[in-house]
Amino acid sequence: MIKTLIFAICIFITFPSAKAADYAYFGFEPEIITNYIAVKKKMGYVRLTVELMIENSSNFEIVEHHAPLLRDAIITIIGQQPEAKVKSINGRHEIQRLCEDKVKSLLKKETGETLIKKLLFTQWLDN
């Protein structure tokens, strides 16, 4: 017990500048509702909530400023997906990755930095 306590103190003294990451989350409001390609010439729709994990909370306003551009890119990507991909878990993960890559590239183009660490789908409802 004492060895563990001494070890913890030594680590704390050695790395005093270690601190928690400064993240912020930006959620698109209202929720995104869009169509996707469905079988039998029927249109399906998906309703989802998207959150962006911003690497530095001071960049929140920059991301918020570019939200319409980012929202449009997400809607465009989802609208191009086939029903099988929208309805499968693996397909949703792939769509999420596509959206994240696109958002990062748009932010890099507009600001010179990617600004976000992760794009998250926190709610996904489809028909």
CATH number of the domain that residue 24 is part of: 3.30.479.30
Q: What is the pLDDT of residue 38?
A: 82
Cα–Cα distances in angstroms (integers) from residue 1 to residues 5, 20, 73, in the given order: 6, 26, 54
Cα–Cα distances in angstroms (integers) from residue 70 to residues 88, 97, 105, 109, 123, in the given order: 24, 14, 10, 12, 18
Comparing CA positions, the residue from 52, 47, 80 lying closest to residue 67 is 52
Asked, for residue 15, whether it belongs to a domain, the answer is no
Amino acid at 22: D
Report the number of distinct structural domains present in the chain.
1
- Residue 36's domain comprises 20-126
Asked, for residue 46, whether it belongs to a domain, the answer is yes
Whether 84 contacts 24, CB under 8 Å: no
Whether 62 contacts 50, CB under 8 Å: no
Asked, for residue 55, whether it belongs to a domain, the answer is yes
- Which residues does residue 52 pair with via DSSP β-bridges, in sequence order? 26, 119
Q: Which of 1-10, 62-71, 113-122 has the lowest mean pLDDT?
A: 1-10
- pTM for the complete prediction? 0.80
What's the chain's average pLDDT? 86
Give residue-wise pLDDT tens across range 66-83: 999 999 999 999 999 999
Give residue-wise pLDDT tens across range 10-55: 444 545 554 567 899 999 999 999 998 887 767 889 999 999 999 9
Asked, for residue 5, whether it belongs to a domain, the answer is no
Amino acid at 15: F
